Amino acid sequence: MDKAKLGIAIALVVAGLAGFYYFSEQALVLRVLYVIAGIGAGTAVAWFTAPGQEFFAFARDSWGETRKVVWPTRKEAIQTTAAVFGFVFVMALFLWVADKALEWALYDLILGWKKS
């Protein structure tokens, strides 16, 4: 029975999307409402299935877990961002120096292709 309900839910979402394209001559607001109605109806039907109940319980628990996260303060975020930018700058400088050193060694010393 759950598979049939999930099939109906998917069909409702597809019907909402099909309505968006089928009624292309109508106003965009109405076409978007068709999509929203299809997604809402599909969600309502999926709510009453066992996998749907498990998904919504998982989503509720996940939302609760995000509230437990200790988010960095503004100062910590700025300091971390500055450290990342500093590291990127130092690495870019190092790679540029390494590239120029290899260029000098290969073209000037080994191959003798001096630039004029």
Q: From CA 61, how far away is CA 49, in angstroms rounded? A: 18
Rounded distance between C-alpha atoms, residue 69 and residue 31, angstroms: 39
Cβ-Cβ contacts under 8 Å for 42 (sequence gap 6 or more):
9, 10, 11, 12, 13, 16
Give yes or no for a contact between 31 and 19, defined as CB atoms under 8 angstroms apart: yes
Q: Averaged over 11-26, what is the pLDDT? A: 91
Q: How many domains does the chain have?
A: 2
Same structural domain, 103 and 48 = no
pTM, whole model, 2 decimals?
A: 0.51
Name the pLDDT band for 113 (thresholds 50, 70, 90): confident
Whether residues 51 and 79 share a domain: the answer is no
63 and 20 part of one domain: yes
Range of the domain at 96: 72-116
pLDDT reading at 69 higher than 70: yes
The reply to whether 63 and 91 lie within a common domain is: no
pLDDT at 116 over 60: no
19 shares its domain with 36: yes
- 17 and 59 share one domain: yes
The reply to whether 32 and 89 lie within a common domain is no
Same domain, 98 and 61: no
Q: Quote the pLDDT of residue 86.
A: 98
Same domain? 47 vs 26:
yes
Q: What is the pLDDT of residue 88?
A: 98
